[in-house]
């Protein structure tokens, strides 16, 4: 082997290793959540966008198609991309841009959605010894982890938001008076964001 061939081989091995390591790093970071894809097709308002979805689908399809064609040819070579494919991507991209133009012409369309959490129901009556299921919505990150607690008052709540009222009225409660409990839910992703609900025990 000539020194040039050795250099080519070493460079190829290095390049192959770097490309593989880079790809793995990206996939790993997505998998562990360091690269957050949760808003991949979402608008600032939080609603998913069909034009973003279309662009995503066509990007994957064209990328996968090009890959298949490139590796099928021997030796691998860049193929000629037909004008109709470029037109299709142009239609998709233009549609996306125009839809964003329409959306962003309205000030409400560029307002980022709240990082708050919303508990439901906010007020409820629970009989002693009974349970009440609370739900929470985190608009910025649906399905994210939240922490439930009985902020004040009586009863317990588990980590799924199921509140259990005490079996009997608390001692010392005046006749005819009602006991209350305040439920607090806090987002783990956004610790400053919390919401309250009030339970009246009867």
CB of 30 to another protein, least distance (A): 5
Nearer to another protein, 105 or 175 (CB): 105
CA-closest candidate to residue 192, choices 111, 114, 116: 116
Q: Least distance (Å) from another protein to the CB of residue 16?
A: 5
**Shortest Cβ distance from residue 153 to another protein (Å)?**
31
Secondary structure class of 153 (helix, strand, coil): strand
Minimum distance of another protein from residue 166's CB (angstroms):
35
Judged by beta carbon, residue 71 or residue 175, the one nearer another protein is 71
How do 194-201 and 123-126 pair as beta strands? parallel
Q: How far is the CB of 195 from another protein (least distance, A)?
A: 17
Bridge partners (DSSP) listed for residue 196: 184
- 8 Å CB contact between 134 and 185: yes
Q: Nearer Cβ to another protein, position 12 or 170?
A: 12
Question: Rounded distance, CA 27 to CA 25, Å?
Answer: 6
How remote is the C-alpha of 112 from its chain's centroid? 14
**Dihedral pair phi/psi, residue 6, rounded to 5°:** -65, -45
Considering beta carbons, is residue 46 or 116 the nearer one to another protein?
Answer: 46
Could you list the residues that contact another protein (CB under 8 A)? 9, 12-13, 16, 19-20, 23, 26-27, 30-31, 37-42, 45-51, 53-54, 56-58, 60-61, 63-69, 71-73, 75-77, 79-82, 84-85, 87-88, 91-92, 94-95, 98-99, 102-103, 105-106, 108-109, 141-143
- By C-beta, is 76 or 170 nearer to another protein? 76
On the question of a cis peptide bond just before residue 92, with omega within 30 degrees of 0, the verdict is: no
Contacts of 151 (CB under 8 A, 6+ apart): 182, 183, 184, 196
């Amino acid at each position: 082997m000539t020194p040039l061939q050795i250099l080519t081989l070493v460079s190829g091995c290095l390049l192959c290793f770097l490309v593989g390591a880079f790809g793995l790093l990206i996939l790993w970071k997505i998998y562990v959540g360091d690269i957050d894809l949760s808003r991949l097709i979402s608008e600032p308002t939080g609603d998913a966008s069909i034009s973003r979805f279309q662009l995503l689908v066509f990007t994957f399809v064209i990328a996968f198609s090009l890959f298949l064609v490139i590796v099928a040819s021997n030796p691998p070579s860049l193929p000629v991309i037909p004008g109709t494919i470029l037109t299709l991507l142009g239609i998709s991209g233009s549609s996306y841009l125009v839809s964003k133009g329409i959306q962003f012409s309205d000030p409400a369309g560029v307002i980022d959605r709240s990082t708050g959490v919303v508990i439901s129901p906010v007020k409820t009556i629970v009989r002693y010894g009974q349970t009440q299921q609370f739900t929470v919505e985190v608009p910025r990150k649906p399905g994210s982890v939240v922490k439930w607690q009985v902020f004040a008052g009586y009863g317990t709540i588990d980590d799924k938001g199921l509140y259990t009222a005490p079996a009997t009225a608390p001692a010392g409660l005046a006749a005819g008076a009602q006991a209350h409990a305040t439920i607090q839910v806090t987002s783990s992703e956004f610790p400053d964001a919390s919401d309250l609900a009030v339970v009246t025990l009867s």
